[in-house]
Structure 1
Amino acid sequence: MWLQNWFLAVFFITFFIHADCDTQVTDSMYQSGGITRPSKGQWTAWASWTSSSSTCGNGVAVRTRRCLRVTRMDRCAGEQRQYRSCQSGICPEDALPFRDLQCALYNYRPIPGSQRGYKWVPFYGAPTACHLNCLAVGQNFYYTFGRVLDGTSCGPNSNGTCINGQCLKADCNGIFTSEVSKESCGKCQEQQNTCVLIQRVYLAPFPSSGYFGYKNVTRIPAGASQIKVMDESRNILALMDSNGHYVINGDWVVSWSGIYKVAGTEVHYIRNSESHEVLEADGPTNEDLYVQVLFQENNPGITYQFWLPKDLYDNYKREPHLSWQQSENEDLNSWVNKTTSGNGESHLGTAQGKEVLTVSRKGQCRRCKTPKGKSQRIKQYCQSDFVIHAKVLGRRIIGQETRYDIQVKHAYKHKFPIMHREYIWVSNTCDCPYLVDRHEYIMMASKHVNHEYTLNRILLSVTSFVKPWSPEEDQKLQRVNIFCSTTP
């Protein structure tokens, strides 16, 4: 009963906030008959702030004003509605997070195209962060139930808040706006003197011999803000997270220009036809990031800069910084912390003779379930949409999922068309199943299409049959199809 009452309260608050949205005016100039006219309307004073959109924890309040105009042609410059961040006390320990609660309101209700009821949990892999994307528990699809309520966090690693379907950040006065001023160090004006700007140039020459792989450029420590890395050459920058996973480029794969989410911030990556390469992020970051370079020609100099809070800078400047001569033969993961505190533990292990970084996340990931034996091989072969021999070319964490870039060497079975180069998805970030870059595997996967037909992809589950490829495994698969009642 309390859940229903809470839902009704949120509904009326949200209705009040969103009411009359079509009258919002943001134009300071307008066009009429080819003539540009100035704004002539006048705003009334702001009304009082509403109560918080949430009964506990973070929420938003809203206030409005009216545009007074003499004629219908008059306009008011600025926004009719303003939102600010507010706190409503600490939530109980057993309280559901705001987005989880919104998904739970649709539990076991039928959705279009299906009369079956499902239990729903938040899904963070969808392209629009401020839509209520919910994953059906035990299924491989998600459904979008419109927008999330105002005041919902944009994501687990985001410091943005959803307002009217947009992911916005609060400025120094707690007001949400689409263009927050970029204060140094991510702090407000009165705190600027607590920040230090680090500016350096990486001048290592093109290697004449020896190791021609990725070279370490710099470590960007957790807490950094206003990050910018620039290179004007054919050399290729790469960005690695603190777990040793490449986020942009790396592993001999070149990424597209775009926005990549890592370390609690968004990294904007640009590489144009003139070989001008830029990495930018507002920050602050919540983990260390590592910049590397793959040389293609002489190095004209890679410039990088970022701001650090003074307390973090004091620790940063005490650490030894390797010169390019010292790092000439440096291993790719040599700067990645060998131990971490808190929820995770990391260590270096070996896989098929190659040193790799593996991570265990206490409380989040469990031991991987690896299907074994002839019966599992036959069962999954017959039930899978795709059975392929593929090489892993790259790996990227997107939301709560892992996306692998693979090269399909051979398709033993495919119910649907498959390309030589594909993306294959895993609905977790726990390395289950465990796949190592540049290695080849047998993969038994399924096709995943959501109810809205906006998502069509190849999916591996935690229990999918995945084994390193070998001639022996290849021979076993050649005879499996005779056990299936129907084959493609």
Structure 2
Amino acid sequence: MAWLSLGCSVGTAQLAPGAWGPWGPWTPCSSSCGDGVTVRTRRCLRSTEEEPCTGDPRQYRLCQLQGCPSGSVPFRAMQCSLYDNKPVLGTPVRYRWVPFHGAPNVCDLNCLAMGHNFYYTFGRVLDGTRCSPGSPDLCVGGRCLSVGCDGILGSGTRSDACGQCGGGHEMCLFVHRLFQGCPFGPCPGSALTLNIKVTDKSRNYLALMTSDGRYVLNGDWSIAWPGPYEVAGTQLRYTRAPNGTESLEAPGPTDEDLHVMVLLQEHNPGIEYEFWLPRRHPQPSRGDASPLRQPQPRGAGSPPPQEPPVTPAPVPLFAPTGRCGRCRPTKGRSQRIRHFCQSDFVFQGRILARRLVGQETRYEVEVQTPYRHRFPLVRREYLWVPNTCGCPPLRQGGQYLLMARRHVNYEHTLNRILLQDDGYARPWTPREDRLVREAARHCPQPQPP
């Protein structure tokens, strides 16, 4: 006899979840002025064998209308006033009601009886009521919901550090460094910078300058008061504690370069700074943190700025009266030796850009061959000329042999490379290279101490 064993497996069929239909139109705003909410709904499309849809059938969005007229009754106060002089609590006593904000549920209509020490809850507040005075959150369906950056209440969507709604920081770069060195140096100073924070824990003072040379904080012989400052399209908050700790914070984005400097009172123990940059923006390099000058251009290898070419004036000259005439070129062996021996910086450089700043001209220079430098040089430097006449005449894209000095003003708020209008600046040639190397042999040798 043969036995046949039949096994039957018992399983549970997986029910497909239901699918949502399309969203309907947004309803009119719940308020006629100020803030309100609008709602849209959708239907769950399912058969009896399917599971219910997962998610919310309603979606609420913030709608902001023009401001309410002056003297208008606040929205919550208006809702409380609807119960004025009406019977409440089963007594014939009539009351006038005002909002009460000390109750546990902020989205209940909690109203205080004027002249008495009790409040009454008249159910929920209307959708679009502020959860509390000054709060950006709104009550919807009895719940206090925050507004996401997409305008949807309760979505939880937030902007990333680069201001991208719902982004995950993929499009931005975080920079966090410690600056240590001499009195001046570049800190975050790039346009489109976001979430800037600079902290100094010493007796030194942080100073802030805009791209046109105007001081915003702690410059021109004055120390600024802590507080908010409007600069570069954002609001910056400056704080200073009794122990000397300072901080600069700004959400950004900035719409121009900002130059952070240090007014030295003691050794610099280190200045911590951080900020975010969009990845498409030129990124700062660690190599451009010169301990000497401010402000510095971008790091080596970054593209030159896209500035329109500037043609030097045909007959420029800086004169005390402010008029421009002919430039006085520096020529001759004796002039070359004198400038070489008296200069702090002698180098071959290519002019990348020119910009007028106040009554001065600022050149961005790519340093190619240094011949003499008493102080550190980086790949890209700013070279300042104390006139706007184009003397010496430096052409954008040209290569020059430049002899300049270090300039530190009396207040120690400027520390930079300065080329006088009668300074040595000649087009670079192999012959000029040979002559300047020969000039080095004629400088007096420093005497031993």
Larger Rg: 2
User: TM-score with structure 1 length normalisation?
Assistant: 0.34
User: TM-score with structure 2 length normalisation?
Assistant: 0.36
